[in-house]
Structure 1
Amino acid sequence: MVRTHVSRRRRVHAGPMDTHPTAPPRPIPGSQFDWLYREIAAWQASDLISGDQAAAIRAGYRRVDGRRFSLGRLMLGLGGCFVGIGLIWLVAANLDELSPMLRFGVVALLWLLFLAGGEALDARGSSRPLVGSVRLIAALVFGAAVFQAAQSLQVPAYSPHLVGLWGAGALVHAYAVRAVSPLLVGVAAGTVWWVWLSLWDEPSAAAAVASIGAASVVAVSLAVVHDRGLHRFGFVWRSVGALLSLVALFAAAVPYATTDDFAWSPWLVGALVVAGVLAVAAVALSSGIARLEPVSAAAVLGMAAVLVAWDTGTDTSNIDAADWAHAGVSVAAYVLVAVGVAALGIVRDNPVLTLLAMLGLVVFTTFQSFAVFAAIIQGAWLFVVLGLVFLATGFLFDRARRGLADVLDTDSANPEGDAR
């Protein structure tokens, strides 16, 4: 029975290797590369694979020892940000020595030069960090061109529409050249435009929570759709969606986030409708665990709405049972969402999600402790209680993370269970 099972596994694993004999080696980090070599040696020693199959598996991967975020990449990214922001600052200073049309011509020329320069460097096969830095500058300078054009046409610069135009241009740039750096600019500007426009006519805490939560649903839904091809873009959209979900739930848990001065605006209604349509489309186009992502983002939005509607008052100097219940539900919900984001980071191999979950949990726990406990616990005892809250939350967080990792390891070691 054992020999039959082994021979079947040999045939299953031999097929894919034979169908792609000329596939280029896949780069993987050094730690994963070492682990893979140890596992291959163990499989070969257990007679699960032959020597030829072991060699074929090894040939499909190559070791990458360099760190993804090297010093050179960091400096190029920071340099691109400073140059782009500096040019925007120059536009904001109006460049009084030049006429409005000449100022716009100079900024537009700079944008075209950086735009063409990035693609020329890419065509020459230059390093990806350098190309990304130049593309980042081009996306930032496009914003300067937008604001300078507004000044030349006597359009008020303090408007969300200009930020939206900047974000749209950066997104077009990103998708046209399949580049992540202008995508980051486009997503950042687009998020600011989305939330700002929701608060333009009827500003309120509830509207801010609703718009941020709707933006998280949109980002997560787009991430699921991008998993069908543009995985790097899906990485960005998923990270942004998780961040917005954590921010929306954090804002909803603040005692001052109430429904006071809230009014439905056409844009806010439209934003929620767009988020719902994209979530349904993402669920329809995906399968498996991916379907749970937009549903979970929508659930976080619903929980945030409940916390905002649950008004217990804004007087933090007089904490009653309702305040304790509101804080308890907020903490439980936030810990649950943070664990879910960390779990998604493990499943998707996205360390940014795990980092966001940990940082968000630390900031939220600290805020809630000082907002609720500080009214009745003073001095050194406040820090003792805060430390105990951190220990308990960290213990539960780590247990959940380890449990998920064990489940994933068990599933990967039992492919027949997955097939069933």
Structure 2
Amino acid sequence: MTDTSTLTIRPVPPRQLSWLRTEVSDWTSQGLITPEQADAIRTRYRSDHHARSSIGRVLLLLGGGFVGVGLIWLVAANLDQLSPVARFGVVGGLWLLFLVGGEALAARRASAPLVGGIRLLAALGTGAVIFQAAQSLQVPAFEPRLVGLWAAGTLLHGYLARAYLPFVVGIATGLYWWFVQPMWDAQSGLTVVVLLGAAAVLAAGLAVVHDGRLDSFAWTWRTLAGGMALLALFVAAVPEIGGGAVEWSPWLVVVLAAAGVAAAGSVLVRPGLRALEPAGAIVVLGAATLLAMWSTGTDSTDVDAADWLRAAVSVGAYVALAVALVALGTVREHPPLSWMAMVGLVVFTTFQSFAVFAPIVTGAWLFVVLGTVFLGTGFLVDRARRELAQALDTTTDDTDGAAR
């Protein structure tokens, strides 16, 4: 008999717990496990519904966010009466208090919402310290390099402490830096497309590297990769978005090199089918860049064969990407990818239909054409998703049968 008093109780989502209890009852009725073993399995898991959705958790996170934003605001507006050294000391002291306090609470296994709230304060306080130091050194507060340092600091905190909220703050601030820094001196639509595609490559590579090591981080990187890929093709399909050339800068070279290193690292760390994710992102980067460079003219009232061809290629590429993301979401059990793909497809086809068909057909016929496009693309995506899910179920059944 198993001693249940020594088992570690693991919290799981309510839906998974309900499924597990149903399966355990089925296994017991078939004689696969004994009633004692079934009881041992049931007592090892508990629902974490209340921990995840409690009002206390929401209030702690909101409180941490408001205090952190208020701290940065104080740096910008309300500490002028103190000397620069005193201001930096106050802000730095508060940041250290939050940083050390959050990790001390985590080491003592305090309430997860409380630890998350304090860690969020520390992540936001990192920005306050950086901006205060810049103010003391007479560095303009709007410099994107400051946000880049903020992102680097919070990402370092997130990885060293395996802390998710600082990691998310680092992702958000890092995205801002990723796009603003390379375009600080000169802007062009084609550069935006390249940056979106490169972000998809970087995120896809890092998602593969994190798989099996930091699953929550991998989940976030994979979600980001899907979103950036969809945006890259969407922006690239806007007529004349790539009218200007890529505005090269040292920072653009840096971000492209970082994307390449992440893709190469994923292949070295996780060779095999997983390498298809960063490879697919590289294909999206190339396709989006070429599509953005494809110019057909600026007269929206005169839609010729070249405009139709470009629109058809754009829709085809976007549908292919959406189907690929649905497939990836099914294989990786990552529902946000599938939802993003379907929502993105609806928005994209709406945009393309009005951009291409509106100058030709108007009124009710425009909605008939638009609905036809929706039905066709929706049928293709849904059928691909169903066939893939059925194929995966068949593969799993065959594997289970061979194991028996």
Shared fold by TM > 0.5? yes
After superposition, the Cα gap between the structure-2 partners of 1:29 and 1:268, relative to the gap in structure 1 and judged at 3 Å, is same
3-state SS of paired residue (2:206) = helix
How many Å separate the matches in 2 of 1:209 and 1:186? Answer: 22
Q: 1:264 aligns with which of 207, 229, 248?
A: 248
Deviation at 1:383, TM superposition (A): 3.5
Structure 1 equivalent of residue 156 of structure 2? 172
Structure 2 equivalent of residue 64 of structure 1? 47
How many Å separate the matches in 1 of 2:251 and 2:80? Answer: 37
Structure 1 equivalent of residue 180 of structure 2? 196
AA in 1 matched with 2:330: I
After superposition, the Cα gap between the structure-2 partners of 1:56 and 1:345, relative to the gap in structure 1 and judged at 3 Å, is farther
AA in 2 matched with 1:70: S
Structure 2 equivalent of residue 10 of structure 1? none
Deviation at 1:353, TM superposition (A): 2.2
Q: 1:405 aligns with which of 389, 397, 400?
A: 389
Q: Comparing 75-84 with 103-112, which one deviates more in the overlay?
A: 75-84
After superposition, the Cα gap between the structure-2 partners of 1:418 and 1:304, relative to the gap in structure 1 and judged at 3 Å, is farther
Contact 1:40/1:54, CA 8 A, preserved across alignment: no
Structure 1 equivalent of residue 219 of structure 2? 235
Unaligned stretches of 5+ residues in structure 1: 1-17
Structure 2 equivalent of residue 283 of structure 1? 267
Structure 2 equivalent of residue 253 of structure 1? 237
Contact 2:75/2:128, CA 8 A, preserved across alignment: yes
**Per-residue CA shift, 1:185-216, capped at 9, x if unaligned?**
11121222122222123321111111221122
Contact 1:111/1:142, CA 8 A, preserved across alignment: yes
How many Å separate the matches in 1 of 2:188 and 2:256? Answer: 16
1:55 aligns with 2:38: yes
Deviation at 1:249, TM superposition (A): 1.6
How many Å separate the matches in 2 of 1:247 and 1:413? Answer: 37
After superposition, the Cα gap between the structure-2 partners of 1:307 and 1:243, relative to the gap in structure 1 and judged at 3 Å, is same
After superposition, the Cα gap between the structure-2 partners of 1:67 and 1:313, relative to the gap in structure 1 and judged at 3 Å, is farther
Deviation at 1:296, TM superposition (A): 1.0
Deviation at 1:293, TM superposition (A): 0.9
1:31 aligns with 2:15: yes
Structure 2 equivalent of residue 84 of structure 1? 68
Aligned pair count reads: 399
How many Å separate the matches in 1 of 2:360 and 2:397? Answer: 51
Unaligned stretches of 5+ residues in structure 2: none
After superposition, the Cα gap between the structure-2 partners of 1:374 and 1:110, relative to the gap in structure 1 and judged at 3 Å, is farther
How many Å separate the matches in 1 of 2:392 and 2:119? Answer: 38
After superposition, the Cα gap between the structure-2 partners of 1:98 and 1:361, relative to the gap in structure 1 and judged at 3 Å, is farther
1:382 aligns with 2:366: yes
CA RMSD of aligned residues (A): 2.8
After superposition, the Cα gap between the structure-2 partners of 1:321 and 1:418, relative to the gap in structure 1 and judged at 3 Å, is farther
Deviation at 1:398, TM superposition (A): 2.0
Deviation at 1:246, TM superposition (A): 1.5
How many Å separate the matches in 2 of 1:240 and 1:346? Answer: 17
How many Å separate the matches in 1 of 2:115 and 2:33? Answer: 43
1:118 aligns with 2:108: no
How many Å separate the matches in 2 of 1:361 and 1:125? Answer: 44
Structure 1 equivalent of residue 113 of structure 2? 129
**Per-residue CA shift, 1:266-289, capped at 9, x if unaligned?**
332333233223212211211443
3-state SS of paired residue (2:49) = coil
Structure 1 equivalent of residue 319 of structure 2? 335
How many Å separate the matches in 2 of 1:203 and 1:54? Answer: 64
How many Å separate the matches in 2 of 1:191 and 1:147? Answer: 18
After superposition, the Cα gap between the structure-2 partners of 1:206 and 1:169, relative to the gap in structure 1 and judged at 3 Å, is same
3-state SS of paired residue (1:312) = coil
How many Å separate the matches in 2 of 1:369 and 1:270? Answer: 37
Written as runs of structure 1 = structure 2, the 5 A alignment for 1:38-49 is: 38-42=22-26, 49=32
After superposition, the Cα gap between the structure-2 partners of 1:338 and 1:69, relative to the gap in structure 1 and judged at 3 Å, is farther
Deviation at 1:307, TM superposition (A): 0.7
3-state SS of paired residue (1:375) = coil
Structure 2 equivalent of residue 11 of structure 1? none
Structure 1 equivalent of residue 279 of structure 2? 295
Deviation at 1:238, TM superposition (A): 1.5
**Per-residue CA shift, 1:152-192, capped at 9, x if unaligned?**
11012222211110001101111121101000111121222
Calculate the TM-score normalised by the size of structure 1: 0.85
**Per-residue CA shift, 1:300-324, capped at 9, x if unaligned?**
1111111112112333232222112
How many Å separate the matches in 2 of 1:390 and 1:339? Answer: 14
After superposition, the Cα gap between the structure-2 partners of 1:213 and 1:46, relative to the gap in structure 1 and judged at 3 Å, is same
How many Å separate the matches in 2 of 1:103 and 1:348? Answer: 48
After superposition, the Cα gap between the structure-2 partners of 1:98 and 1:305, relative to the gap in structure 1 and judged at 3 Å, is same
Deviation at 1:333, TM superposition (A): 1.4
Contact 1:411/1:418, CA 8 A, preserved across alignment: no
Calculate the TM-score normalised by the size of structure 2: 0.88
**Per-residue CA shift, 1:207-246, capped at 9, x if unaligned?**
1111221122111111111114122211121112222112
How many Å separate the matches in 2 of 1:102 and 1:186? Answer: 27
Contact 1:213/1:301, CA 8 A, preserved across alignment: yes
Contact 2:28/2:35, CA 8 A, preserved across alignment: no
Structure 2 equivalent of residue 4 of structure 1? none
Contact 1:160/1:197, CA 8 A, preserved across alignment: yes
How many Å separate the matches in 1 of 2:276 and 2:51? Answer: 29
Deviation at 1:136, TM superposition (A): 1.3
Structure 1 equivalent of residue 308 of structure 2? 324
AA in 2 matched with 1:356: M
1:415 aligns with 2:399: yes
How many Å separate the matches in 1 of 2:52 and 2:144? Answer: 33
Identity of aligned residues (%): 54
1:152 aligns with 2:129: no
3-state SS of paired residue (2:283) = helix
3-state SS of paired residue (2:227) = helix
How many Å separate the matches in 1 of 2:66 and 2:104? Answer: 22
